[in-house]
């Protein structure tokens, strides 16, 4: 055909009026097929608004599934925060600022007042006292030692042959601790000075100490002010002092409320004991 020839195509004949064009339906989708539709891009600057979930009804409980059970025989390892707790000796050394308890065994005087020591610490100190052959003065004043600590130290005091001065003022020693210390006073051949000011000793403790004083061949000074000793306790002291045949005691300090009782004053005068009342 020439280059500029035009091919005329005939238009299809018009559809008859009322004719219906039949279109075939697309083939059905295979079962499980997923049609992936791409979302149209958002216009620049558009904001997508997301709806917040509705609030939980008041009192609603969210159930969480429990973890699966541990296999039989399994062991759960738990670490203690900060490592193992300190031993009683380590605990005492930390309070005293010492490196070794052996430093104390050969001392002649130990001033451990106002160190925050308690009954557990006193039990360690009792071992030091038992091991020492040179300690003469032990100052445990202004601490938190109670009956159990006093009992431990009393047992070591009774067995120690060098201790002369034992200071317990401003602690929490009650009647049971005083009873133990009274036994130590009676048993010790070296103890001369016992200070129990400002504790919790009542009449029962005073009765025991009175018996210890009467039996002692060495105790010359007993300090008991600011305790809970009443008239009955003062009477026990008077009876023990007045009835002793060989009394080493030469000075007794008692609470002011009982220091002027006639029977106690008379007993001390008869034995040459200086009686002081205060606190």
Which pLDDT value is given to residue 79?
A: 44
Which residue stretches of the chain are H helix? 88-96, 102-105, 119-131, 147-159, 175-187, 203-215, 231-243, 262-271
Give the whole-angstrom CA distance, residue 76 versus residue 63: 25
Pairing of strands 251-254, 221-223: parallel
Q: For residue 58, give the 3-state DSSP assignment.
A: coil
Would you say the pTM of this structure is higher than 0.85? no
Give the whole-angstrom CA distance, residue 111 versus residue 115: 10
Shortest CA distance to 211 belongs to which of 190, 181, 231? 181
**Token pair of 110, please?**
């130990």
Computed on alpha carbons and rounded to an integer, the radius of gyration of the chain in Å comes to 47
**Token pair of 244, please?**
């002793």
Could you read off the pLDDT tens digit of each residue along the chain, which spans 279 residues? Answer: 455 545 455 555 565 566 554 555 455 555 665 545 555 565 676 554 555 556 666 765 656 565 566 566 544 444 445 679 999 999 999 999 999 999 999 999 999 999 999 999 999 999 999 999 999 999 999 999 999 999 999 999 999 999 999 999 999 999 999 999 999 999 999 999 999 999 999 999 999 999 999 999 999 999 999 999 999 999 999 999 999 988 999 999 999 999 999 999 999 999 999 999 998
Domain spans, the chain: 109-277
| Number of neighbouring beta carbons within 10 Å of residue 88 | 12
Shortest CA distance to 165 belongs to which of 138, 135, 202? 138
**Token pair of 198, please?**
């400002």
CATH fold of 109-277 reads: 3.80.10
Helices 203-215 and 175-187 cross at an angle (nearest 10°) of 0
254: β partners: 277
Q: What angle do CA 207, 276, 139 make, to 5 degrees?
A: 75
Q: What is residue 115's DSSP assignment?
A: S
Which pLDDT value is given to residue 51?
A: 58
Give the whole-angstrom CA distance, residue 177 versus residue 152: 9
Phi and psi, residue 249, nearest 5° = -65, 130
């Amino acid at each position: 055909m020439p280059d500029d020839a035009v091919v005329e195509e005939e238009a299809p004949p018009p559809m008859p009026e009322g004719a219906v064009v039949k279109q075939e339906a697309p083939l059905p989708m295979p079962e499980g097929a997923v049609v992936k539709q791409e979302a149209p891009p958002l216009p620049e600057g558009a904001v997508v608004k997301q709806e917040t979930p509705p609030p939980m009804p008041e009192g609603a409980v969210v159930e969480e599934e429990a973890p699966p059970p541990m296999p039989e025989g399994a062991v759960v390892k738990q670490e203690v925060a900060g490592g193992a707790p300190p031993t009683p000796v380590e605990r005492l050394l930390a309070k005293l600022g010492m490196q070794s308890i052996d430093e104390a065994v050969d001392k002649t005087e130990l001033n451990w007042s106002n160190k925050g020591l308690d009954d557990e610490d006193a039990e360690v100190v009792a071992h030091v006292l038992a091991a020492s052959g040179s300690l003469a003065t032990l100052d445990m004043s202004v601490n938190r030692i109670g009956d159990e600590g006093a009992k431990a130290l009393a047992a070591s005091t009774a067995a120690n042959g060098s201790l002369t001065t034992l200071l317990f003022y401003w602690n929490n020693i009650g009647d049971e601790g005083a009873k133990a210390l009274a036994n130590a006073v009676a048993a010790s051949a070296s103890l001369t000075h016992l200070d129990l000011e400002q504790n919790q000793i009542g009449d029962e403790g005073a009765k025991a100490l009175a018996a210890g004083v009467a039996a002692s061949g060495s105790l010359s000074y007993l300090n008991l002010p600011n305790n809970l000793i009443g008239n009955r306790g003062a009477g026990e002291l008077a009876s023990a002092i007045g009835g002793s045949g060989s009394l080493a005691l030469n000075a007794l300090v008692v609470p002011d409320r009982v220091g002027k009782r006639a029977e106690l004053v008379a007993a001390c005068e008869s034995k040459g004991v200086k009686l002081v009342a205060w606190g």
